[in-house]
Structure formats: structure tokens, C-alpha cells
Structure 1
């Protein structure tokens, strides 16, 4: 099927990033969130990011202007009725996602495709809660979406070939590279990445090294562009914990047990960059380790 209008649910970091690349690639974009202020903030973020692309010579002003004019606020779920593809990019909480699909499906065109940007939750299980499991697929973008080239495509057990091919063509049209993952907890990237981050938190928890020592060791000793604790703050410690819980519950292996220190930070509300504090304190001029 021809995808022309893309609905995006969630105007946060991931949703606004997906809206950015979709609009830049010529799609009409409908951006929905439960808060009108969040939609406005998301569109402002996209505009600011595109303006930086223009100033650095990576984007023509004409493309920026056309892309911004193709993004429309969709404050009510009913405003997504005309979308050919809707991508859910809400918080990594299955209960929240199921509620969204329950509200969304009755207003969608029966032919419309439905996707989730989940980074860890079962595609098959979520698809089964909708009225179109054969038209449901996981399209997992990496953060930050405008910069990261990879997208994981994940089929549920009921996903039909036409849905997969349409989703693949859509991702390729965004100038992204597709990797296909089976529907197992956390798929490929996070199945490998999050246990590494969790282990780094255990190293901190056990006193083997400080925040600064751990991040320096992995940057200079393993040639990682960002230390694992800095990366955890960037992802969001609540998201890291959610993914580790999905892995632990889904695979029943003690090696995926979330580190108690990660749980403590989330309980404290120290969720990383977005909260101003995580393994680093971001409230000053420069980030300072909190341990």
C-alpha cells in the first residue's frame, strides 16, 4: 500500500524524532500527544533541530520549510483517522500502549497499518490486543532518530508479508538501514546493549570503579563513543529499568536481574538527563558524577 500520511503518537524525544525524519522525507505527519503543550514543544524541537541542520549545511532551507509545513498537530486521537500508518512512540509501558491501541483502532481506516516503536515489548502480544494483528509490526528507531541510521523491524506471529514489505519500504525511504529481528524480549540492539549497561551499574554498585572511572575505561579501553553510565542517562534510567525487567521476566534468567542501584535511582526520580540528575548531575554548567 502507498503510505502518504503518517500518524505519530507521542511527541517526546522519540516521537518528535520520527516526525522529523518522516516530514523531511516528504510524508504528511500528524503528531498526537495527550498534552497540547507537548505537541507544541515537540514541533518546536523539530524546528530547532532542522534549523541547526540548515546552519551546518546539511539541509536546504526549502526542505526545512516544506517539512515543517507538513507536520500538523493532532490533539485528539480522532485526528489520526486519515493516517495510512500510525506509529506509537509512547512511554515504554505495556499497559499505556494497550490503552492507546484500544482508543486508536476504532477511529482508523481498516486498511491502515499500525506500528509500535517499543524497544523491548512483545509485538505478538500487543498485536493481539488490536483489531488488526496482521497489519501490526514493530518499527524500532534508535535515539536520536535523525542521526541514527538503524531501524529494527520486528514481525509478530500474525504480521502479514504486505505489512512487513510496506514497513520496510517506508523505513528505506527515510534513508535508514533495516535490520530484521525476531520477536524475542528486547530484540537485537537492546538485548545486547542493556545487559552491558546493567553490568556497568553493578560495577559501580559493587565499588569496583567510580562513575568517571567506568565511563573513561569503556571510552578509552573499548573505543565506545560514550561511556555506559553516560549512555544510560541519555536513554533514561526508567527506560533502562523497563527493558531489563522485560528481559528478566521474558527470559527467566538471573543474568538479566536489574541492578538494585538502578532501581534506587529510578525510585529517587533520578532518571538521567531528562530529569536533571542520574549517574551525572546536569543542573550545573558541566555534568558532575553523582557517585
Structure 2
């Protein structure tokens, strides 16, 4: 029957763009937001488990996968996490839900916590995976961070556009037949990933996401922190033990506590793409928290 059996696949209006959205299950609603360079299909093993008790919504973020890719601007605001968060609220409203839980991994975690900050009456619970607030990461940037996360800055600059390098050989750039092979991602998830990275418009939009990250996203975080705004809903952070969260930050929960004082969380024995590498453990952790 393929992946996401029993789920519907639609294009739904967000905040001025249409998103490709997979949705199914029944119960309290939860949105799952993917990271870079994935699409919503990264959740193919987790979403059906959660759908036993929840109505699960998995969109492609704006610019990613088969969602719309709006023209950008000099300040990259169309790809700000604030814009992406507004998409999620609008999509859920279209699906009949004024409140929902939100789970985000990697870039999706940035959208998830921005949704909780901008729409506190909407988000009932928040889960962030393998991420800290953008401003906190940038302020702690040292030689180790620059060595391991150099792509943030390569993507973020415009003098020598990263798109030209990536689109010359996207499958090699994104390790499509090695660490991101069909065996590791699953054949159908891999096919969706492959279609995304082969599309120059998608590559440009994904890079615009990083350009927004270094500019407008950081500003939004700085304004919120200066005003004392905090995330008030129950929040959990999960991190991959075979990624570098602990190497970069020690206990990553300590980074989050000024933003959400009652945050809980723990590590999972996995590499970075935890939804694909440790789906059972992730689904269990999410189900327990939700």
C-alpha cells in the first residue's frame, strides 16, 4: 500500500502559499515539521504510529518538497521562520483545528518554536529536535561550530551563491547514494528526497531558508529575548546522541531554559535524522509526551 497508508495527500493554502500536506489519523492534532533537505516523507515511520492516537499533519515547509516557492526579497523575509509558522497556523485552520501540538526537527524545529512564540494561544505542546534557538547558536559560534556547521554560512551568503554549486551535482552534494541512500531512507522517502534536491527551484528556496536564518530570524529571536517573551506551553527537547548537540552545548536543555523554563527532554541513540534512524524510539517519546 506504500507509505502513509490511510493518510490523505492535499495541497492546502497557507499564508499566501500552498503547501503539500499529508494528514491522517484521529484524536488530538499534532503537526510534524521536517528539516533540511528532507520533505514531509521523512516522518513515514513515525506518523502512522502517532496516528493511532492523534490526528497527524505532515506538511512540506514552504520552499521545500512540492510546496510553493515564493519569490524572495533582499531581506529574505518570505523564508523567515515567522512566515513558515504562519503557514502552519493557516493550514491547520483550513483543516479545522484552532489549537494543536507541533513537533519540529532541524529547520522544522525553528519553525516549531517560532510558531509557539508567535501564536501562544494556538500551540498546546511543543517538541524541538536537534536544535537550539537561532540566536543562541549564532552567539555560541566558535571554531568547532564553524567547522561542523560551515554550510550555515556558505548557504547564508549571496556573493557566491551556493545554488550554483549544489545544482551542478545535487546527488553528490546531498550524498544521495551513500549516507542518504534508499536503504537508509526507505525507497519511497528516498524518491521524494531525490525529486526535491534535483529541482533547482527547491534548492534555491532551501538556501533562502538559511539566508533568512542569519538575518531576520536572528532579529526576531533577539527582539523576543529582549522583551522577555517565553514559550509557555509544555515543551520537550530531544536530541540525537550521535549528533553533536552535547559536544557543542553540553546539556542542550540549559540553552532552552531561558526560553521555556519548564522544558524537559533527553537524548536518543541515533544520528541526526532520528525519524529515519530511530523511528520507534522517537515515536515512543513523542507519544508519551503528547
Q: Quick check: TM above 0.5?
A: no
TM-score, length-normalised on structure 1? 0.29
Q: RCO (CA 8 Å, sep 6+): is it higher in 1 or 2?
A: 2
Instruction: Point out the structure with max Rg over C-alpha.
Output: 1
TM-score, length-normalised on structure 2? 0.29
